[in-house]
Amino acid sequence: MENESKVMIEDEVVVVVVEVKVERQEEVGSNLGHSSESLARHLLLLLLLLLLLLLLLLFCCAC
């Protein structure tokens, strides 16, 4: 019985997460007009993070 209730709770959590993702995608779709700037910023941040990770890897390998 306990396992069944856990599965039900997990299913509800998954449904909530999916609904939140769908809502966020709809918001992004409605903001496409001025989101190209924020998209460029996100890409730059991702590139910076990747560079930092590479530097950390190089530093760790050097040790």
Q: pTM above the 0.75 mark?
A: no
11 versus 39: the higher-pLDDT residue is 39
For residues 6 and 11, what is the distance between their CA atoms, to the nearest angstrom?
A: 9
Phi, psi of 31 (to 5 degrees): -105, 15
Predicted local distance difference test score (pLDDT) of residue 33: 56
pLDDT at 6 over 90: no
pLDDT in tens, 16-63: 555 666 666 666 666 655 567 788 888 899 999 999 998 888 887 776
Return the residue matching tokens 């709809």.
Answer: 26
Contact 16, 9 (CB under 8 A): no
Q: CA 41, 48, 25, 22: dihedral to nearest 10 degrees?
A: -160
Helix (H, G, I), strand (E, B) or coil at 37: helix
